[in-house]
Amino acid sequence: MTLTTRLPLLALIATVAACAEPVEPSAPIAVSDLTVKLEPVVAAEQPWGMTFLADGGLLFTEKEGGLKYLAPGAAASAPVTGLPQALTADQAGYLGLALDPDFAASRLVYVSLSSGTPEANSTLVVRGRLSDDHTALENVEELFRGDLRDTTYHYGSRLAFANDGTLFVTIGEGFKYMDLAQDPKTTHGKVIRINPDGSIPADNPFADGTAGNPAVWSYGHRNSQGLYYDTVSGTLWETEHGPKGGDELNIITKGANYGWPKITYGVNYDGTVITDQTEADGMTQPETYWVPSIASSGLTMLTSDVYPGWKGDLFTGGMNGPSGLVLVRIDLEDGKVVGKEDLLKNEYSIRDVAQGPDGYLYIASKDFDGIFKVVPEE
Protein backbone atom coordinates (compact mmCIF):
# COMPACT_ATOMS: atom_id res chain seq x y z
CA MET A 1 0.00 0.00 0.00
CA THR A 2 1.43 3.37 -1.00
CA LEU A 3 1.47 6.39 1.22
CA THR A 4 -1.06 8.19 -1.02
CA THR A 5 -3.65 5.44 -0.64
CA ARG A 6 -3.01 4.94 3.06
CA LEU A 7 -3.58 8.55 4.09
CA PRO A 8 -7.24 8.80 3.09
CA LEU A 9 -7.86 5.37 4.62
CA LEU A 10 -6.31 6.47 7.92
CA ALA A 11 -8.36 9.65 7.79
CA LEU A 12 -11.51 7.59 7.23
CA ILE A 13 -10.67 5.28 10.13
CA ALA A 14 -10.06 8.31 12.36
CA THR A 15 -13.44 9.82 11.36
CA VAL A 16 -15.34 6.59 12.00
CA ALA A 17 -13.60 6.22 15.36
CA ALA A 18 -14.59 9.76 16.35
CA CYS A 19 -18.25 9.13 15.46
CA ALA A 20 -18.32 5.84 17.32
CA GLU A 21 -16.62 7.20 20.42
CA PRO A 22 -18.93 6.37 23.31
CA VAL A 23 -20.42 9.28 25.20
CA GLU A 24 -19.41 9.31 28.85
CA PRO A 25 -22.11 7.44 30.81
CA SER A 26 -24.31 9.95 32.61
CA ALA A 27 -24.75 7.84 35.76
CA PRO A 28 -23.40 4.52 37.05
CA ILE A 29 -25.42 1.36 36.51
CA ALA A 30 -27.40 0.58 39.65
CA VAL A 31 -28.18 -3.00 40.63
CA SER A 32 -30.71 -3.96 43.28
CA ASP A 33 -31.46 -7.31 44.89
CA LEU A 34 -35.07 -7.04 43.87
CA THR A 35 -36.53 -8.29 40.59
CA VAL A 36 -40.05 -7.50 39.45
CA LYS A 37 -42.62 -8.93 37.07
CA LEU A 38 -45.86 -7.71 35.51
CA GLU A 39 -49.43 -8.74 36.27
CA PRO A 40 -52.15 -7.68 33.82
CA VAL A 41 -54.71 -5.22 35.19
CA VAL A 42 -56.86 -4.18 32.25
CA ALA A 43 -56.81 -4.22 28.46
CA ALA A 44 -56.30 -0.82 26.86
CA GLU A 45 -55.63 0.48 23.37
CA GLN A 46 -52.67 2.84 23.22
CA PRO A 47 -53.08 4.07 26.79
CA TRP A 48 -51.28 7.39 27.24
CA GLY A 49 -51.86 8.79 30.73
CA MET A 50 -53.19 7.23 33.92
CA THR A 51 -53.99 8.36 37.44
CA PHE A 52 -55.54 6.54 40.36
CA LEU A 53 -58.44 7.65 42.53
CA ALA A 54 -58.03 7.23 46.29
CA ASP A 55 -60.38 4.22 46.36
CA GLY A 56 -58.27 2.30 43.82
CA GLY A 57 -60.35 3.25 40.79
CA LEU A 58 -58.28 4.17 37.74
CA LEU A 59 -58.74 6.90 35.16
CA PHE A 60 -56.73 6.63 31.96
CA THR A 61 -56.67 8.03 28.47
CA GLU A 62 -56.42 6.05 25.27
CA LYS A 63 -54.76 7.97 22.46
CA GLU A 64 -57.76 7.53 20.18
CA GLY A 65 -60.37 6.19 22.60
CA GLY A 66 -60.60 9.11 25.00
CA LEU A 67 -61.05 8.87 28.76
CA LYS A 68 -61.70 5.50 30.45
CA TYR A 69 -62.59 4.47 34.01
CA LEU A 70 -61.74 1.18 35.68
CA ALA A 71 -63.70 0.59 38.88
CA PRO A 72 -61.82 -0.98 41.81
CA GLY A 73 -61.58 -4.71 41.19
CA ALA A 74 -63.32 -4.53 37.81
CA ALA A 75 -62.06 -6.56 34.85
CA ALA A 76 -62.86 -4.07 32.11
CA SER A 77 -62.90 -0.31 31.73
CA ALA A 78 -65.85 1.86 30.71
CA PRO A 79 -65.83 5.08 28.69
CA VAL A 80 -66.11 8.49 30.30
CA THR A 81 -67.92 10.85 27.93
CA GLY A 82 -67.74 14.62 27.68
CA LEU A 83 -64.30 15.44 26.29
CA PRO A 84 -64.09 17.49 23.09
CA GLN A 85 -63.20 15.63 19.91
CA ALA A 86 -59.42 15.20 19.67
CA LEU A 87 -57.24 15.07 16.59
CA THR A 88 -55.75 11.56 16.71
CA ALA A 89 -53.42 11.46 13.68
CA ASP A 90 -49.85 10.25 14.22
CA GLN A 91 -48.79 11.31 17.75
CA ALA A 92 -51.89 13.46 18.36
CA GLY A 93 -54.73 12.31 20.59
CA TYR A 94 -56.11 12.20 24.10
CA LEU A 95 -52.91 12.48 26.10
CA GLY A 96 -52.01 13.49 29.67
CA LEU A 97 -54.36 13.85 32.61
CA ALA A 98 -54.30 14.89 36.27
CA LEU A 99 -56.70 15.00 39.18
CA ASP A 100 -57.46 18.26 40.93
CA PRO A 101 -55.45 18.47 44.18
CA ASP A 102 -58.82 18.70 45.94
CA PHE A 103 -60.42 15.99 43.79
CA ALA A 104 -62.22 14.46 46.79
CA ALA A 105 -64.36 17.59 47.02
CA SER A 106 -64.26 19.04 43.48
CA ARG A 107 -64.13 15.82 41.39
CA LEU A 108 -62.30 17.89 38.73
CA VAL A 109 -60.19 16.06 36.13
CA TYR A 110 -57.72 17.90 33.85
CA VAL A 111 -56.92 16.47 30.41
CA SER A 112 -54.53 17.55 27.66
CA LEU A 113 -55.52 16.67 24.12
CA SER A 114 -54.63 17.56 20.53
CA SER A 115 -57.26 19.82 18.98
CA GLY A 116 -57.81 20.86 15.38
CA THR A 117 -56.78 19.51 11.99
CA PRO A 118 -53.44 18.10 10.83
CA GLU A 119 -52.82 21.45 9.11
CA ALA A 120 -53.79 23.62 12.10
CA ASN A 121 -53.86 22.11 15.57
CA SER A 122 -52.73 22.82 19.08
CA THR A 123 -52.47 21.36 22.56
CA LEU A 124 -55.71 22.00 24.43
CA VAL A 125 -56.03 21.66 28.20
CA VAL A 126 -59.55 21.18 29.55
CA ARG A 127 -61.15 20.27 32.85
CA GLY A 128 -64.48 18.81 33.83
CA ARG A 129 -66.25 17.33 36.82
CA LEU A 130 -66.28 13.54 36.96
CA SER A 131 -69.89 12.50 37.45
CA ASP A 132 -70.67 10.57 40.63
CA ASP A 133 -71.22 7.40 38.58
CA HIS A 134 -67.89 7.89 36.73
CA THR A 135 -69.50 7.85 33.29
CA ALA A 136 -69.04 11.48 32.20
CA LEU A 137 -66.99 14.63 32.55
CA GLU A 138 -69.50 17.39 33.18
CA ASN A 139 -69.23 21.13 32.55
CA VAL A 140 -66.05 20.74 30.52
CA GLU A 141 -64.17 24.04 30.23
CA GLU A 142 -61.28 24.98 27.93
CA LEU A 143 -58.40 26.27 30.07
CA PHE A 144 -55.45 26.74 27.75
CA ARG A 145 -54.61 26.44 24.07
CA GLY A 146 -51.03 26.28 22.82
CA ASP A 147 -49.85 27.98 19.64
CA LEU A 148 -51.05 26.59 16.31
CA ARG A 149 -48.87 24.09 14.45
CA ASP A 150 -49.16 22.25 11.15
CA THR A 151 -47.54 19.04 12.32
CA THR A 152 -48.88 15.99 14.17
CA TYR A 153 -45.73 15.11 16.13
CA HIS A 154 -44.18 16.02 19.51
CA TYR A 155 -47.03 17.14 21.76
CA GLY A 156 -45.50 16.75 25.21
CA SER A 157 -48.79 16.95 27.15
CA ARG A 158 -48.00 15.78 30.67
CA LEU A 159 -49.71 17.57 33.55
CA ALA A 160 -48.63 18.06 37.17
CA PHE A 161 -49.91 20.21 40.03
CA ALA A 162 -47.57 22.12 42.34
CA ASN A 163 -48.05 22.65 46.07
CA ASP A 164 -49.19 26.23 45.39
CA GLY A 165 -52.11 24.90 43.32
CA THR A 166 -50.74 25.92 39.92
CA LEU A 167 -50.75 23.44 37.04
CA PHE A 168 -47.68 22.66 34.92
CA VAL A 169 -48.17 21.36 31.36
CA THR A 170 -45.47 20.21 28.94
CA ILE A 171 -45.86 21.24 25.31
CA GLY A 172 -43.65 19.68 22.62
CA GLU A 173 -41.93 21.61 19.85
CA GLY A 174 -43.84 19.87 17.08
CA PHE A 175 -40.57 18.45 15.66
CA LYS A 176 -40.38 21.00 12.83
CA TYR A 177 -40.45 24.01 15.16
CA MET A 178 -37.32 23.01 17.07
CA ASP A 179 -35.73 26.45 16.75
CA LEU A 180 -38.80 28.04 18.35
CA ALA A 181 -38.12 26.03 21.52
CA GLN A 182 -35.57 28.80 22.19
CA ASP A 183 -38.17 31.57 21.73
CA PRO A 184 -40.09 32.25 24.96
CA LYS A 185 -42.76 34.06 22.94
CA THR A 186 -44.12 30.79 21.55
CA THR A 187 -45.49 27.79 23.42
CA HIS A 188 -43.56 25.30 21.25
CA GLY A 189 -41.06 23.31 23.34
CA LYS A 190 -42.08 24.73 26.71
CA VAL A 191 -43.29 23.91 30.17
CA ILE A 192 -46.20 26.22 30.85
CA ARG A 193 -47.78 27.11 34.19
CA ILE A 194 -51.41 28.11 34.62
CA ASN A 195 -53.91 28.49 37.42
CA PRO A 196 -56.55 25.74 37.63
CA ASP A 197 -59.08 28.03 35.96
CA GLY A 198 -56.71 28.71 33.04
CA SER A 199 -55.66 32.19 34.15
CA ILE A 200 -51.97 33.09 34.29
CA PRO A 201 -50.16 33.25 37.66
CA ALA A 202 -48.80 36.76 38.31
CA ASP A 203 -45.37 35.37 39.27
CA ASN A 204 -44.74 33.55 35.97
CA PRO A 205 -41.35 34.59 34.51
CA PHE A 206 -42.85 36.27 31.43
CA ALA A 207 -46.14 37.27 33.07
CA ASP A 208 -46.15 40.79 31.62
CA GLY A 209 -45.80 39.41 28.08
CA THR A 210 -42.92 41.64 26.98
CA ALA A 211 -40.13 39.06 26.76
CA GLY A 212 -42.18 35.90 26.46
CA ASN A 213 -45.58 34.23 26.46
CA PRO A 214 -47.12 34.87 29.91
CA ALA A 215 -47.88 31.15 30.34
CA VAL A 216 -44.27 30.02 29.78
CA TRP A 217 -42.43 28.70 32.85
CA SER A 218 -39.32 27.18 31.20
CA TYR A 219 -38.09 26.77 27.63
CA GLY A 220 -35.62 24.98 25.36
CA HIS A 221 -37.49 21.65 25.60
CA ARG A 222 -37.96 19.09 22.85
CA ASN A 223 -40.76 16.62 23.59
CA SER A 224 -41.46 16.08 27.25
CA GLN A 225 -43.57 13.03 28.10
CA GLY A 226 -42.71 12.77 31.77
CA LEU A 227 -43.54 15.24 34.55
CA TYR A 228 -43.66 14.67 38.30
CA TYR A 229 -44.00 17.20 41.10
CA ASP A 230 -42.49 16.04 44.39
CA THR A 231 -44.75 17.59 47.01
CA VAL A 232 -42.20 16.92 49.79
CA SER A 233 -39.20 18.72 48.26
CA GLY A 234 -41.17 20.98 45.92
CA THR A 235 -39.09 19.72 42.97
CA LEU A 236 -40.55 19.52 39.46
CA TRP A 237 -38.94 16.60 37.60
CA GLU A 238 -39.28 16.25 33.83
CA THR A 239 -38.18 13.74 31.20
CA GLU A 240 -37.92 14.61 27.54
CA HIS A 241 -37.09 12.81 24.34
CA GLY A 242 -33.78 13.68 22.77
CA PRO A 243 -33.27 13.14 19.05
CA LYS A 244 -31.06 10.07 18.36
CA GLY A 245 -29.56 9.86 21.85
CA GLY A 246 -29.85 12.56 24.45
CA ASP A 247 -33.09 11.78 26.29
CA GLU A 248 -33.01 13.85 29.46
CA LEU A 249 -34.12 14.00 33.07
CA ASN A 250 -34.36 17.63 34.17
CA ILE A 251 -35.25 19.58 37.29
CA ILE A 252 -37.49 22.38 36.03
CA THR A 253 -37.01 25.85 37.49
CA LYS A 254 -38.64 29.19 36.78
CA GLY A 255 -37.53 30.89 33.55
CA ALA A 256 -34.70 28.44 32.87
CA ASN A 257 -33.51 27.45 29.38
CA TYR A 258 -32.94 23.71 28.90
CA GLY A 259 -31.02 24.21 25.68
CA TRP A 260 -32.83 22.40 22.86
CA PRO A 261 -31.73 22.56 20.06
CA LYS A 262 -28.65 24.66 20.94
CA ILE A 263 -27.23 21.97 23.21
CA THR A 264 -27.96 18.24 23.26
CA TYR A 265 -26.27 14.91 23.89
CA GLY A 266 -27.98 13.51 20.79
CA VAL A 267 -27.73 13.73 17.00
CA ASN A 268 -30.36 13.77 14.22
CA TYR A 269 -32.10 10.48 13.40
CA ASP A 270 -30.08 10.26 10.20
CA GLY A 271 -26.89 10.59 12.23
CA THR A 272 -26.11 14.16 11.15
CA VAL A 273 -25.06 16.63 13.79
CA ILE A 274 -27.59 19.13 15.18
CA THR A 275 -25.00 20.91 17.27
CA ASP A 276 -21.65 19.81 18.66
CA GLN A 277 -22.41 21.63 21.91
CA THR A 278 -23.51 19.69 24.98
CA GLU A 279 -23.37 22.67 27.31
CA ALA A 280 -23.52 26.45 27.13
CA ASP A 281 -23.67 29.45 29.43
CA GLY A 282 -27.20 30.24 30.49
CA MET A 283 -28.48 26.77 29.60
CA THR A 284 -29.37 24.20 32.24
CA GLN A 285 -27.77 20.75 32.16
CA PRO A 286 -29.90 17.61 32.58
CA GLU A 287 -29.67 15.71 35.89
CA THR A 288 -28.99 12.63 33.78
CA TYR A 289 -29.33 11.66 30.11
CA TRP A 290 -29.54 8.58 27.95
CA VAL A 291 -27.22 7.75 25.05
CA PRO A 292 -28.47 5.74 23.23
CA SER A 293 -32.07 6.86 23.65
CA ILE A 294 -34.77 4.95 25.48
CA ALA A 295 -37.60 7.25 24.27
CA SER A 296 -38.33 8.33 27.83
CA SER A 297 -42.00 8.58 28.74
CA GLY A 298 -44.08 8.92 31.91
CA LEU A 299 -42.35 9.67 35.20
CA THR A 300 -43.21 9.09 38.84
CA MET A 301 -41.56 8.87 42.23
CA LEU A 302 -42.08 5.85 44.46
CA THR A 303 -43.28 7.02 47.87
CA SER A 304 -44.28 3.61 49.27
CA ASP A 305 -42.36 0.82 51.05
CA VAL A 306 -43.63 -1.92 48.69
CA TYR A 307 -40.25 -2.44 46.99
CA PRO A 308 -37.33 -2.69 49.45
CA GLY A 309 -34.66 -0.07 48.75
CA TRP A 310 -36.57 1.81 46.08
CA LYS A 311 -38.52 4.38 48.11
CA GLY A 312 -37.80 7.92 46.94
CA ASP A 313 -36.46 6.80 43.54
CA LEU A 314 -37.84 7.98 40.21
CA PHE A 315 -39.25 5.60 37.59
CA THR A 316 -39.61 6.35 33.89
CA GLY A 317 -40.71 4.21 30.97
CA GLY A 318 -38.71 3.56 27.82
CA MET A 319 -40.65 3.15 24.60
CA ASN A 320 -38.16 2.15 21.93
CA GLY A 321 -34.66 2.51 20.61
CA PRO A 322 -31.78 0.12 21.13
CA SER A 323 -31.98 0.41 24.91
CA GLY A 324 -35.72 1.14 25.27
CA LEU A 325 -38.46 -1.31 26.29
CA VAL A 326 -37.49 -0.80 29.92
CA LEU A 327 -38.75 0.62 33.16
CA VAL A 328 -35.83 2.66 34.44
CA ARG A 329 -35.26 3.08 38.15
CA ILE A 330 -33.41 6.34 38.71
CA ASP A 331 -31.64 6.00 42.03
CA LEU A 332 -31.81 9.30 43.92
CA GLU A 333 -29.81 10.27 47.00
CA ASP A 334 -30.48 13.71 48.48
CA GLY A 335 -32.11 14.83 45.24
CA LYS A 336 -29.17 13.77 43.04
CA VAL A 337 -29.02 10.94 40.50
CA VAL A 338 -26.52 8.35 41.72
CA GLY A 339 -27.41 5.44 39.43
CA LYS A 340 -29.80 4.00 36.87
CA GLU A 341 -31.18 0.48 36.61
CA ASP A 342 -33.07 -1.08 33.68
CA LEU A 343 -36.02 -3.17 34.85
CA LEU A 344 -38.54 -5.28 32.88
CA LYS A 345 -36.24 -5.38 29.86
CA ASN A 346 -37.77 -6.16 26.46
CA GLU A 347 -41.32 -6.68 27.69
CA TYR A 348 -43.32 -3.65 26.55
CA SER A 349 -42.97 -0.14 25.24
CA ILE A 350 -43.90 1.77 28.39
CA ARG A 351 -45.85 5.01 27.88
CA ASP A 352 -46.67 5.86 31.49
CA VAL A 353 -45.90 4.84 35.04
CA ALA A 354 -47.90 5.69 38.16
CA GLN A 355 -48.17 4.64 41.78
CA GLY A 356 -51.49 3.30 43.00
CA PRO A 357 -53.01 3.95 46.43
CA ASP A 358 -51.85 0.41 47.31
CA GLY A 359 -48.24 1.62 46.94
CA TYR A 360 -47.55 -0.51 43.87
CA LEU A 361 -46.22 0.85 40.60
CA TYR A 362 -48.33 0.40 37.47
CA ILE A 363 -47.24 0.76 33.87
CA ALA A 364 -49.22 1.50 30.73
CA SER A 365 -47.98 0.01 27.46
CA LYS A 366 -47.60 2.28 24.46
CA ASP A 367 -49.40 -0.08 22.12
CA PHE A 368 -52.38 -2.41 22.46
CA ASP A 369 -51.37 -4.47 25.47
CA GLY A 370 -52.83 -2.59 28.39
CA ILE A 371 -52.05 -1.64 31.96
CA PHE A 372 -50.01 -3.82 34.29
CA LYS A 373 -49.10 -3.98 37.97
CA VAL A 374 -45.41 -4.21 38.86
CA VAL A 375 -44.98 -6.86 41.55
CA PRO A 376 -41.84 -8.09 43.33
CA GLU A 377 -40.81 -11.63 42.41
CA GLU A 378 -40.74 -14.08 45.29
Choose between 26 and 77: whose C-beta lies nearer to Ca ion. 26
CB 347 within 8 A of CB 320: no
* Least distance in angstroms from the C-beta of 295 to Ca ion: 16
* Least distance in angstroms from the C-beta of 67 to Ca ion: 32
**How far is it between the farthest Cα atoms of the chain?**
84
* Least distance in angstroms from the C-beta of 71 to Ca ion: 41
| CA-to-CA dists, residue 350 to 75, 96, 287, 364, angstroms | 21, 14, 21, 6
Total of chain residues touching Ca ion, rule CB under 5 A:
2
* Least distance in angstroms from the C-beta of 155 to Ca ion: 18
**What is the b/e burial string over 82-99, where b = at least 16 CB atoms within 10 angstroms of the residue's CB?**
bbeebbbeebbbbbbbbb
β-bridge pairing 120-130 and 223-230: unpaired
CB 348 within 8 A of CB 44: no
Q: Does residue 292 have a cis bond before it (omega within 30 degrees)?
A: yes
Q: Which residues ranging from 76 to 115 are in contact with Ca ion (CB under 5 A)?
A: none
Residues forming the active site? 154
Choose between 52 and 258: whose C-beta lies nearer to Ca ion. 258
Choose between 47 and 184: whose C-beta lies nearer to Ca ion. 184
Q: Which residues ranging from 225 to 264 are in contact with Ca ion (CB under 5 A)?
A: 258-259
* Least distance in angstroms from the C-beta of 96 to Ca ion: 20
> Is residue 189 close enough to count as binding Ca ion by CB under 5 A?
no
> Is residue 219 close enough to count as binding Ca ion by CB under 5 A?
no
- Burial of residue 57 (CB within 10 Å: 0-12, 13-18, 19+) is middle
DSSP 44-80: -SSEEEEEE-TTS-EEEEETTTEEEEE-TT-SS-EEE
Q: Which residues neighbour 59 within 8 Å (Cβ) at sequence distance 6 or greater?
A: 50, 51, 52, 53, 67, 68, 69, 70, 80, 97, 99, 109, 130
CA 283 – CA 262 distance, rounded (Å): 9
CA 161 – CA 15 distance, rounded (Å): 48
* Least distance in angstroms from the C-beta of 183 to Ca ion: 16
Choose between 47 and 242: whose C-beta lies nearer to Ca ion. 242
CB 91 within 8 A of CB 154: yes
Choose between 251 and 306: whose C-beta lies nearer to Ca ion. 251
Choose between 181 and 302: whose C-beta lies nearer to Ca ion. 181
CA 68 – CA 53 distance, rounded (Å): 13
Residues lying near Ca ion in the complex (CB under 5 A) are found at 258-259
